[in-house]
Amino acid sequence: MKFIDEFRDKGLVRDLVRRLGHLATGPATIMEVCGTHTMAAARFGLKSLLPSQVNLVSGPGCPVCVTAQEDLDGFLALGKEPGVILASFGDMLRVPGTATSLEKERAAGAMVKVVYSPLDAVDLARQATGKQVVFFGVGFETTMPATAMAVQLAAAEKLPNFSVFCVHKTMPGALRALLAAGEVRVSGLLCPGHVTTIIGASAYDFIPRDFRIPCAVTGFEPLDLLLGIESILHQISQGQARVDNVYPRAVQVQANPRAQALLTEVFAAGDAKWRGLGVIPGSGVAIREKYQQFDARTRYAAALAQVPPPPPSACRCGEVLRGVMRPRECPLFDQACSPAHPLGPCMVSSEGACAAVYRYERG
């Protein structure tokens, strides 16, 4: 496939890996911020190819994983409301809420539909007159324009039966909070290529400026990932810290103006609660008042107020998401917690750090 196969060239991969071996003169911990990077690195076996001094750690960029337990419990509770169809990306289905999961609710007869796009959820609402379709708005900046467009389309058509339970999150604020906490020491960041098509590479300028940490905006094929790591090791060896864009075929320095206009029209910046990171000011969005009839948090405020806060859990996903614990270091890993019986989202999502290690690096 064009723009994929070229970036998987085995000969070039081998040569790049050898180059990294020469560049890595000391230990380097590189965080792959994005869950799609975590999955790609595991799937292509990159960790085993890298020089021993280079450690890849997973970051907070798996949207399923960072969805707060109370948000998931809230969405699940809406399934009990009369006539409600819950529409969700497939990744969320098996994530355990406090009492149940979307998959279990569906098996028990609740109306749960998997959609590929929020626009498909709008289609579903058009067809399901007499029912209420609630879409679970999970994801980072890559996914937010699609949700914003769904809200706009529903508003334009005055659809009475579509709303969004919005838990979308934004990346730069979370990275700032993570780095400012100082808990995790990283030598460099592989920044999420597809988020950056929307927000532009300049969104990370504060990281080298305020934290002196090299960044590389990176694509998702093996050669893209190796080039991102090469950029970071090179910056380290030169004593530099800047934002390199090694994915210029898709990413520009500036944000996509149309996407930004769409996001600003529908969403207002707000605080968000992240699993593992807590509440981070300015790292989430809320649907603007102008569109509040499409906001499930407004529409179902009374029902949501009845949802009890989740009890403490033995799950250590929070530490894994902050990059301070590796999946294997969790006492539950491959014991009480496995993909067949996941206790936390990092083991459920195909992009979760625990699921990636379990599937590709175990034994």
Residues that bind other proteins in the complex, under the rule CB under 8 A: 1-4, 6-7, 11-12, 15-16, 18-19, 22, 34-36, 61-64, 89, 91, 116-120, 138-140, 142-143, 145-146, 149, 192-195, 197-198, 220, 223, 227, 230, 246-251, 256, 258-259, 262, 349, 351
CB of 14: closest distance to other proteins in angstroms? 8
Minimal distance in Å, beta carbon 56 to other proteins? Answer: 17
DSSP state of 205: T
Residues forming a β-bridge with 217: 191, 245
Question: Nearest-CA neighbor of 92 among 81, 103, 84, 100?
Answer: 103
Q: Which is nearer to other proteins, 39 or 332 (CB)?
A: 39
Smallest gap, in angstroms, from Cβ of residue 310 to other proteins?
22
Question: Quick check: 148 and 285 in contact, CB under 8 A?
Answer: no
Structure tokens belonging to residue 216: 């590389």
Rounded to the nearest whole angstrom, what is the least distance from the CB of residue 137 to other proteins in the complex? 11
Q: Give which of 137, 243, 143, 152 is closest to 197, Cα–Cα.
A: 143
Distance CA(55)–CA(30), nearest Å, equals 6
Closest approach of Cβ 34 to other proteins, in Å? Answer: 6
Give dist(CA 50, CA 245) in Å, integer: 21
What is the nearest approach in angstroms of other proteins to the Cβ of residue 189? 15
Q: Which residues partner with 237 through β-bridges?
A: none
Nearest-approach distance from CB 3 to other proteins, in angstroms: 4
Pinpoint the alpha helices (H) of the chain. 10-23, 35-43, 46-49, 63-66, 69-78, 102-107, 118-127, 144-157, 171-181, 193-199, 206-211, 222-237, 257-266, 296-299, 301-305, 317-321, 345-348, 353-360
Q: Which is nearer to other proteins, 252 or 338 (CB)?
A: 252
d(CA 197, CA 201): 8
User: Do 248 and 228 form a contact (C-beta atoms < 8 A)?
Assistant: no
Q: Report, in Å, the least distance between residue 19 CB and other proteins.
A: 5
Task: Find the helix or strand (DSSP H, E) in which 137 lies.
Answer: strand 132-137
Compare residues 213 and 259 and give the one whose CB is closer to other proteins. 259
Q: How far is the CB of 301 from other proteins (least distance, A)?
A: 27
Q: How far is the CB of 306 from other proteins (least distance, A)?
A: 29
Instruction: State which residue, 198 or 236, has the beta carbon closest to other proteins.
Output: 198
Q: Return the H-helix or E-strand segment holding 245.
A: strand 243-245
Distance CA 230, CA 216 (A): 9
Tokens describing residue 14: 């081998």
> What distance in Å separates the CA atoms of residue 324 and residue 326, rounded to the nearest whole number?
7
Rounded CA-CA distance 80/99 in Å is: 13
Identity of the residue, 89 or 300, whose beta carbon is nearer to other proteins in the bound complex: 89
Nearest to 86 by CA among 123, 154, 135: 135
